[in-house]
Amino acid sequence: NPRVRQTLGYAPEEINALGPSLLATVLHPDDARWFIEEQVPRILAAGDDDTFVGIYRFRHRSGEWRWFRAHQRVFSRTASGEPWQLVGTAHDITAEREAEQALALATTAVTAAANGIVVTNVAGTIQWVNPAFCAMTGYTQGEVVGSTPRVLKSGLQDEAFYRTLWETVLQGRVWRGRLSNRRRDGSLYVEEMTITPVAAGGDRITHFVAIKNDVTREEELQQRLRGAERMEAVGQLASGVAHDF
């Protein structure tokens, strides 16, 4: 029909002129092989009311491959009942497929991330965590999804700390900070955390994404360094006093 010009760039008469070479010209070789060897026999063996769905790559006249979801069925039969014509409709789903692929890539990336990642709703209920979070805290995904980050509270931060945190993110601003949390086994660790408000599909905040990095080792080294600097300062002071005497 005329719509083929918009979807594939060909005029209907050009499609008709392709004749038997239509599939070889327009359909991806792998999809054409599957269609001919597997899909067509199923269609021909089915009843007139049976519709078959397939996902295919069609080549646009520009050379670009585009994704289509197609429905096919027997359209007419010979006097003896043999299938004579097939009818098919195809809907361009290229944008949908690209969105799915982008989502799959994003999901793979955050799942594989070395930093702990936590997604909560606006009330703070945990919706999703990645494996790095589980490795950091000792909690499984099933244990924390549906709860809140309060399961990690160590009691070493006062209420004013958390009040400032919530005021920041609820105003749509990014919060960054360092705090002490408690693992599932009760041990303490220090983490650097960045919380980003997310407005999914609108201007209203719907979720928060927290990126967590365990900096316990760095914190211990910094404390040792500060202790060594204090001891050095005391030693210099004592040396100076001795010299004065």
Flag whether pLDDT at 15 surpasses 90.
Answer: no
Beta strands (DSSP E) in 61-187 are: 65-77, 83-92, 116-121, 126-129, 175-182
Look at residue 229 in the predicted model and tell me its pLDDT: 57
Look at residue 138 in the predicted model and tell me its pLDDT: 97
- The one-letter code for the residue type at 37 is E
> 28 pLDDT band (50/70/90 cuts)?
very high
Look at residue 156 in the predicted model and tell me its pLDDT: 95
Flag whether pLDDT at 3 surpasses 70.
Answer: yes
* % of the chain with per-residue pLDDT over 70: 91
Using DSSP's 3-state secondary structure scheme, residue 184 falls into coil
Flag whether pLDDT at 54 surpasses 80.
Answer: yes
Look at residue 24 in the predicted model and tell me its pLDDT: 85
Q: Output the CA–CA distances (angstroms, integers) from residue 25 to 16, 22, 198, 228, in the order listed.
A: 12, 5, 45, 75
* % of the chain with per-residue pLDDT over 90: 64
Flag whether pLDDT at 92 surpasses 90.
Answer: yes
Tens of pLDDT, residue by residue over 138-189, are 999 999 999 999 999 999 999 999 999 999 999 999 999 999 999 999 999 9
Flag whether pLDDT at 234 surpasses 60.
Answer: no
> 106 pLDDT band (50/70/90 cuts)?
confident
Q: Output the CA–CA distances (angstroms, integers) from residue 204 to 21, 122, 124, in the order listed.
A: 53, 10, 15
Tens of pLDDT, residue by residue over 114-131, are 999 999 999 999 999 999
Q: To the nearest 5 percent, what fractions of the chain are helix, strand and coil?
A: 45, 30, 25
Tens of pLDDT, residue by residue over 205-223, are 999 999 999 999 887 776 6
C-alpha 30/C-alpha 184 separation (Å) is 50
- Residue 241 or 141, more confident: 141
Q: Tally the residues of the chain.
A: 245
Look at residue 94 in the predicted model and tell me its pLDDT: 93
C-alpha 8/C-alpha 228 separation (Å) is 72
**Strands 116-121, 83-92: pairing kind:** unpaired
Q: Return mean pLDDT, the chain.
A: 89
